[in-house]
Amino acid sequence: MKKVICSIPGVDKVLSLPPLISLLETHPRPTVLAAVRNVLAALRVDSVDGKLAAALDESQLCGLIVTELEQIVAPALHPVVNGTGVVVHTNLGRSLLAKSACRQMLEVAERYSNLEMDMATGERGERYVHVESLLCELTGAEAALVVNNNAAAVLLALSGIAAGKEVVVSRGELVEIGGSFRIPDVMRLSGGILKEVGTTNRTHLKDYQTAISPETALLLKVHTSNFSVVGFTAEVSIDQLVRCGREADIPVMADIGSGSLLDLSRYGITGETPVQEYLKAGVDIVTCSGDKMLGGPQAGIILGKRSFVAKLRKEQLLRAVRIDKLTLAALEATLRLYRDEREAVAEIPTLRMLTLQPAALKAKAAAWIRRLRAKIPASVSLTVVAGDSQVGGGSLPLLDLPTFLMAISVEGWSPQGIDAAFRERKIPVLGRIQKGQYLLDLRTLQDADIPALVDAMSIFP
């Protein structure tokens, strides 16, 4: 016989229920207690004068507590299925790491390493050396330094080279990157003095030339990353800016944001100048992210002339923005893959996804539908539709990558309803709604996502 609960029981009463006693055998008491308190508190909110609006039986109450406990013990940071088609999705963790990068990270995590010891002398070494020669080999830079992220790289470079002095930047490049990285604010934080030149849409060489004074420490070019000014526009090319800097004996820095190490135009990804081109043009300091189009871990990469990198290496600030050993391991392994372009494109997930061609995506769509069909309710209709994916990460905002998507529809479910229900799963599924359809982009779906998709679709009748 079911015992119906009409008013909210006390904690001790609940803890003495048999299902709770067995929970206490497998979980620490404070954790179970927290789950009980959370559930009782929620019931109190829903009740009037301590009386439950809808009567609950004991097993329902215990069910709520078990669900709450599962949520409490589950990791707060967990995988999700990215069906949005945005490859470098900033809110979903940007780049996925290559298998070799994951392995290297684990290796260094589980064992001691030569992080800061020079094995030849047995003396203290520097963590930065592990990737410096590789970065120089791949990019042609004289010297390299890596830090926590590109925001830190820009801050360190500005503060090391231009504190108390003027930095000339075009008004068309005073960008804000998502998550509050704003050039004027970073400049203030670094101690550099922002000297804006030109206008939002047009900046000319003479704007830079007339701005240069004895107070000038740096000419800075910032990649506009996540926006584009179109129409009546003019900007000074990197070659012109380098020449201008040389004439005035002032260094030139470029914050290039995404930082592609490959020329991806042969794969249909045009508009991103590879890092190497900036260095070849003679830029003194280049900074970029490790986890945007480079496809590595979160990191900031500083490349350039030996004298400037050496100066930054001595900055106190470097200690505060230093790269962590796991990141370093993942970055090194990722960079190694770049020694062979084919290997890089095949093994680095970001590059693999970006370079997927429409025919392959169409075949993937058909194969996935076959695989899913056998495991999901018959009420779910899956069809293939054509569309576009985005690079993301504030890179190439105008570029559409042709793709194929899976449209999911179920009688009686709106696309918004599917979206909301999918986001609530233990492994949430994120898609997009377009023209009244709920869509998952095959470009960003991973083989490991199949069970989570099957689980999400199990909600349908």
Ligand X SMILES: *Cc1c(COP(=O)(O)O)cnc(C)c1O
Residues that bind ligand X (CB under 6 A): 149-151, 154, 177, 181, 222-223, 225, 255, 257-258, 289, 300, 394
Query: Alpha-carbon distance 417 to 306, whole Å?
Result: 57
Q: Which is nearer to ligand X, 293 or 376 (CB)?
A: 293
Q: Which is nearer to ligand X, 26 or 180 (CB)?
A: 180
Measured CA to CA in angstroms, residue 425 lies from 136, 191, 422 at distances of 45, 47, 6
Query: Alpha-carbon distance 457 to 422, whole Å?
Result: 8
Query: Alpha-carbon distance 146 to 142, whole Å?
Result: 14
Hey, is 441 helix, strand or coil?
A: strand
Query: Alpha-carbon distance 172 to 229, whole Å?
Result: 8
Is residue 196 within 8 A of residue 163, CB to CB? The reply is: no
Query: Is 237 buried (19+), middle (13-18) or exposed (0-12) by CB count in 10 A?
Result: exposed
Query: Alpha-carbon distance 193 to 353, whole Å?
Result: 40
Tell me, what DSSP letter sits at residue 265? G
- Shortest Å, Cβ 94 to ligand X: 8
41 φ, ψ (degrees, to nearest 5): -65, -40
- Shortest Å, Cβ 243 to ligand X: 23
- Shortest Å, Cβ 98 to ligand X: 18
Q: What stretches of 213-273 adopt beta strand conformation (E)? A: 216-222, 252-257
Q: Which is nearer to ligand X, 177 or 354 (CB)?
A: 177
Q: Which is nearer to ligand X, 323 or 376 (CB)?
A: 323
- Shortest Å, Cβ 358 to ligand X: 27
Which residue lies nearest ligand X, judged by its C-beta? Answer: 257
- Shortest Å, Cβ 154 to ligand X: 6
* 368, HSE (Cβ side, Cα atoms, 13 Å): 29
Q: Which is nearer to ligand X, 95 or 139 (CB)?
A: 95
- Shortest Å, Cβ 314 to ligand X: 22
Q: Which is nearer to ligand X, 151 or 212 (CB)?
A: 151
Instruction: Write the DSSP string, 91-136.
Output: GGTBPPPPHHHHHHHHHHHHS---TTEETTTTEE--TTHHHHHHHH
Q: Which is nearer to ligand X, 203 or 258 (CB)?
A: 258
- Shortest Å, Cβ 159 to ligand X: 15
Q: Which is nearer to ligand X, 245 or 257 (CB)?
A: 257
- Shortest Å, Cβ 276 to ligand X: 18
Beta carbons within 10 angstroms of residue 192's beta carbon: 25
